[in-house]
Amino acid sequence: MQVIFEELAINMRSSLLINCSLKEAKEIRKGAGFQRRTVSGYVLHIVMRSVKVTEEIASALETQPSSIMRSGMRGDLIRPRTTLHVYCTADEAKGIRRAARRRQSSISGFVLACLHRHWIAEEELARIQQKQSRLSNRRHSKSG
Protein backbone atom coordinates (compact mmCIF):
# COMPACT_ATOMS: atom_id res chain seq x y z
CA MET A 1 0.00 0.00 0.00
CA GLN A 2 2.82 2.43 0.87
CA VAL A 3 4.55 1.83 -2.49
CA ILE A 4 1.35 2.76 -4.36
CA PHE A 5 0.95 5.94 -2.28
CA GLU A 6 4.59 6.98 -2.87
CA GLU A 7 4.26 6.34 -6.61
CA LEU A 8 1.02 8.36 -6.70
CA ALA A 9 2.66 11.22 -4.78
CA ILE A 10 5.63 11.27 -7.18
CA ASN A 11 3.29 11.33 -10.20
CA MET A 12 1.43 14.33 -8.77
CA ARG A 13 4.61 16.45 -8.82
CA SER A 14 6.01 18.21 -11.83
CA SER A 15 8.58 20.83 -12.65
CA LEU A 16 9.19 23.56 -15.19
CA LEU A 17 12.47 24.78 -16.64
CA ILE A 18 12.44 28.56 -16.90
CA ASN A 19 14.96 30.06 -19.31
CA CYS A 20 15.93 33.54 -18.11
CA SER A 21 18.78 36.02 -18.03
CA LEU A 22 21.37 35.87 -15.27
CA LYS A 23 20.01 39.21 -14.01
CA GLU A 24 16.46 37.81 -13.82
CA ALA A 25 17.71 34.68 -12.01
CA LYS A 26 19.54 36.88 -9.50
CA GLU A 27 16.38 38.97 -8.96
CA ILE A 28 14.30 35.82 -8.45
CA ARG A 29 16.76 34.44 -5.89
CA LYS A 30 16.90 37.81 -4.12
CA GLY A 31 13.08 38.00 -3.94
CA ALA A 32 12.84 34.42 -2.70
CA GLY A 33 15.41 35.11 0.01
CA PHE A 34 13.68 38.33 1.05
CA GLN A 35 10.36 36.51 1.39
CA ARG A 36 12.06 33.47 2.98
CA ARG A 37 10.72 31.19 0.28
CA THR A 38 12.31 28.67 -2.01
CA VAL A 39 12.84 29.80 -5.60
CA SER A 40 9.96 27.53 -6.63
CA GLY A 41 7.72 28.89 -3.88
CA TYR A 42 8.50 32.49 -4.80
CA VAL A 43 7.88 31.98 -8.52
CA LEU A 44 4.68 29.97 -7.99
CA HIS A 45 3.30 32.48 -5.47
CA ILE A 46 3.48 35.20 -8.12
CA VAL A 47 2.67 33.19 -11.24
CA MET A 48 -0.35 31.29 -9.94
CA ARG A 49 -2.17 34.59 -9.28
CA SER A 50 -1.69 35.45 -12.96
CA VAL A 51 -2.83 31.97 -13.98
CA LYS A 52 -6.04 32.52 -11.99
CA VAL A 53 -6.64 35.89 -13.65
CA THR A 54 -5.88 34.45 -17.10
CA GLU A 55 -8.41 31.67 -16.52
CA GLU A 56 -11.04 34.16 -15.33
CA ILE A 57 -10.48 36.35 -18.39
CA ALA A 58 -10.58 33.35 -20.70
CA SER A 59 -13.88 32.17 -19.27
CA ALA A 60 -15.34 35.69 -19.61
CA LEU A 61 -14.27 36.14 -23.23
CA GLU A 62 -15.34 33.90 -26.07
CA THR A 63 -12.45 35.05 -28.23
CA GLN A 64 -9.16 36.23 -26.81
CA PRO A 65 -7.58 39.10 -28.72
CA SER A 66 -3.86 38.50 -28.82
CA SER A 67 -3.22 42.19 -28.10
CA ILE A 68 -4.82 41.72 -24.68
CA MET A 69 -3.39 38.31 -23.88
CA ARG A 70 0.14 38.50 -25.29
CA SER A 71 2.81 39.49 -22.78
CA GLY A 72 5.07 41.29 -25.25
CA MET A 73 8.24 40.47 -23.32
CA ARG A 74 11.39 39.98 -25.38
CA GLY A 75 13.61 38.76 -22.58
CA ASP A 76 14.96 35.98 -24.78
CA LEU A 77 17.20 38.58 -26.44
CA ILE A 78 19.07 39.34 -23.22
CA ARG A 79 22.36 37.47 -22.82
CA PRO A 80 23.83 35.59 -20.97
CA ARG A 81 21.08 33.08 -20.22
CA THR A 82 20.53 30.52 -17.49
CA THR A 83 17.79 28.10 -16.47
CA LEU A 84 15.85 27.82 -13.22
CA HIS A 85 14.17 24.59 -12.19
CA VAL A 86 10.78 25.32 -10.63
CA TYR A 87 9.16 22.42 -8.77
CA CYS A 88 5.36 22.42 -8.68
CA THR A 89 2.33 20.18 -8.63
CA ALA A 90 1.09 18.63 -11.84
CA ASP A 91 -2.02 20.85 -11.63
CA GLU A 92 0.09 24.02 -11.25
CA ALA A 93 2.22 23.03 -14.24
CA LYS A 94 -0.90 22.31 -16.28
CA GLY A 95 -2.40 25.70 -15.35
CA ILE A 96 0.82 27.54 -16.23
CA ARG A 97 1.07 25.74 -19.57
CA ARG A 98 -2.56 26.52 -20.36
CA ALA A 99 -2.15 30.20 -19.40
CA ALA A 100 1.01 30.51 -21.52
CA ARG A 101 -0.77 28.94 -24.49
CA ARG A 102 -3.71 31.36 -24.05
CA ARG A 103 -1.28 34.27 -24.10
CA GLN A 104 0.47 32.79 -27.13
CA SER A 105 3.70 32.72 -25.16
CA SER A 106 6.30 30.20 -24.12
CA ILE A 107 6.15 28.94 -20.55
CA SER A 108 9.33 30.87 -19.73
CA GLY A 109 7.94 33.98 -21.43
CA PHE A 110 4.71 33.78 -19.46
CA VAL A 111 6.47 33.20 -16.12
CA LEU A 112 8.95 36.02 -16.74
CA ALA A 113 6.18 38.41 -17.82
CA CYS A 114 4.37 37.66 -14.53
CA LEU A 115 7.56 38.25 -12.55
CA HIS A 116 8.35 41.50 -14.37
CA ARG A 117 4.83 42.83 -13.72
CA HIS A 118 5.25 41.90 -10.06
CA TRP A 119 8.62 43.64 -9.80
CA ILE A 120 7.27 46.78 -11.47
CA ALA A 121 4.32 46.81 -9.04
CA GLU A 122 6.69 46.36 -6.07
CA GLU A 123 8.89 49.25 -7.26
CA GLU A 124 5.87 51.51 -7.77
CA LEU A 125 4.47 50.63 -4.35
CA ALA A 126 7.84 51.38 -2.71
CA ARG A 127 7.99 54.72 -4.55
CA ILE A 128 4.48 55.65 -3.38
CA GLN A 129 5.27 54.63 0.21
CA GLN A 130 8.48 56.70 0.21
CA LYS A 131 6.59 59.71 -1.12
CA GLN A 132 3.88 59.33 1.55
CA SER A 133 6.55 58.95 4.24
CA ARG A 134 8.29 62.16 3.13
CA LEU A 135 4.96 64.04 3.11
CA SER A 136 4.12 62.72 6.57
CA ASN A 137 7.54 63.74 7.92
CA ARG A 138 7.11 67.26 6.49
CA ARG A 139 3.70 67.63 8.15
CA HIS A 140 5.11 66.50 11.51
CA SER A 141 8.11 68.83 11.28
CA LYS A 142 5.87 71.85 10.43
CA SER A 143 3.43 71.14 13.24
CA GLY A 144 6.17 70.59 15.84
pLDDT in tens, 48-87: 999 998 888 877 765 544 444 444 445 556 778 999 999 9
In the structure, what pLDDT confidence band is assigned to residue 24 with cuts at 50, 70 and 90? very high
Residue 119 lies in a domain: no
Asked whether residue 83 is assigned to any structural domain, the reply reads yes
Residue 49 lies in a domain: yes
pTM reported for the whole predicted model: 0.75
Residue 41 in domain: yes
Domain total in the chain: 1
List C-alpha distances in Å: 73 to 32, 81, 84, 93, 141: 22, 15, 18, 21, 45
Span of 9-23, 30-44, 86-100, 114-128 with lowest mean pLDDT: 9-23
Each residue of 83-134: pLDDT tens digit? 999 999 999 999 999 999 998 999 999 999 999 999 999 999 999 999 888 8
Q: Considering the domain boundaries, does residue 14 fall inside one?
A: yes
**Residue 13 placed within a domain:** yes
Residue 73 is part of which domain span?
Answer: 2-113
Cα 65 from Cα 69, distance rounded (Å)? 6
For residue 21, the Cα-to-chain-centroid distance in whole angstroms is 15
CB 37 within 8 A of CB 103: no
